[in-house]
Amino acid sequence: MLPIIQGQQTPRQARVSGLPVHVGAPDGKQLVAAPPAPAQSGRRPTRPGDSNAHPRHSPALDSLHGLVLGDAFGDQWLALSVDEAQARYAARELCPAPWGWTDDSAMALVLVRHLAEYGEVHQDVLARGFAAGYAADPERGYGPSMHRVLRAIGEGGDWRAVTSELFGGQGSHGNGAAMRVAPLGAWLAADLDRVAEQARLSAETTHFHVEAAAGAVAVALAAALAARSRGTAAPERPDFLLQVAELLPDGDVRSGLRIAARMPAGTSVRHAAAVLGSGYRLSAPDTVPFALWAAAGHLDDLPEAIWTCLGGWGDTDTTCAITAGVVAARTGLGGVPEHWLTARETFPV
C-alpha cells in the first residue's frame, strides 16, 4: 500500500471578469487504506494500460504525476492579485515554492489506488473511498456541494441518493469528475469503449448530472488517445479533439469540443477561453473543452501545455490538472524542468 501523507491547503479562486473571487473547489481530498473488496466481477485486475511495463513508468502513473503537477502549478496563481498574475505570466515567472496540490490530485490518487486494487470501478467502494479520503484531509479545497456529498456518504448515506438530490434533482454538473479522471483513461487505454464506461461509472459516484459524466468521459478518452499515441507523431489538434467528440453523447461538452476543433490555427488563448470558457463557472461544459484544446495543441510539450492552459485563467488548478494529465499520458515528465518538480508538494506515489 502506498504511504499516506497530509499536506497544506492552498487558496482557490476563479477569475471572473478580471476580478479574483474566492470560490470552493468542486471535489475531494486525501487517501486511506482500501475498503473491503467487493464481490468478484469475473475480471482479472488490470495493470496500467494493460501492459507489462513497471507501473511506476506506465502512462497511467505518468498521467497522475502530470495531473498533480498541473494542479499544483495552477493553484498558486489563484492566490495572486490580477496585476501580479498577469505580470508574472507575461514574464513566464514562476510562483514561489512550495506548490501545494488540491482536491483534484487527492481524488485522482484515490481513483488510481482503486484501479490498482480492483482493476475497474466498483462504485460503492469508490464512493466510500472518496468519502474516507475527504475525512482524512478535508481542507484541500473541496467545494460546498462536495463537502455535503462526501460527508453524507461518509456517514453511511447511499451515494446514489446523495448525489441525485443536489440542485433540484439534477445532480452536480461541476468539473470535479473530469479533473481527477485522466489516469483512468491512460490505465485502460487499450479499450476506448471500456474507458468511456469506466469514466462514466467513476463520475456518477459524486456527480449525477449527465454533463459532468460527459466531461469525465471526454478527459479519460483524451488521456487514452494520448497514451495510445506514444512513439508516433502527435495528431493535429482538430483531429484529436474531433476524435474525442465523436465518442461522446450529444450535449454541451461534445458541442464545446466540436467548436474547439473548428478554431483556426493561431487562435489566441484569450479568444479560446472567451469562447469555450475556462472553468470560472466550475462546470464540466465550461472547463473540459478549453482544457482539452490546450492539451491538444501541445501534445509533445508538457510545460508549454501547462503555460498555455494557465493563460485562459478561470479555475486554473483544475484546467491545468486536466491538460497536464492528458499530455503527460503521452510524454511523461521527462521534459519538465527539475525545479518545477522540486517546487511541487511531495505526493505519495
Axis crossing angle, helix 210-228 with helix 192-204, rounded to the nearest 10: 140
Name the residue among 318, 325, 345, 326 with its Cα closest to residue 15: 318
d(CA 182, CA 42) in angstroms, rounded, equals 25
Axis crossing angle, helix 269-276 with helix 288-296, rounded to the nearest 10: 150
Q: Which residues, 6+ apart, have CB-to-CB distance to 18 below 8 Å? A: 82
- Burial (CB count <10 Å: 0-12, 13-18, 19+), residue 337: exposed
Please report how many Cα atoms fall inside a 13 Å half-sphere around the Cα of residue 135, on the Cβ side: 16
- Check the annotation: does 286 bind a ligand: no
In the structure grid, which three cell numbers stand for residue 3, read together? Answer: 504511504
- Per DSSP, the residues of 94-133 read PPPSPB---HHHHHHHHHHHHHHHHSS--HHHHHHHHHHH
| Residue indicated by cell numbers 473530469 | 178
* 333 DSSP 8-state letter: T
- Check the annotation: does 124 bind a ligand: no
Q: Which residues, 6+ apart, have CB-to-CB distance to 111 below 8 Å? A: 126, 180, 181, 183, 184, 202
- Check the annotation: does 104 bind a ligand: yes
Q: Which amino acid is at 13?
A: Q
- Check the annotation: does 83 bind a ligand: no
Q: Which residue ranges are tagged as binding site? A: 102-104, 315, 317-318
Q: Which residue ranges are tagged as binding site for Mg(2+)? A: 102-104, 315, 317-318
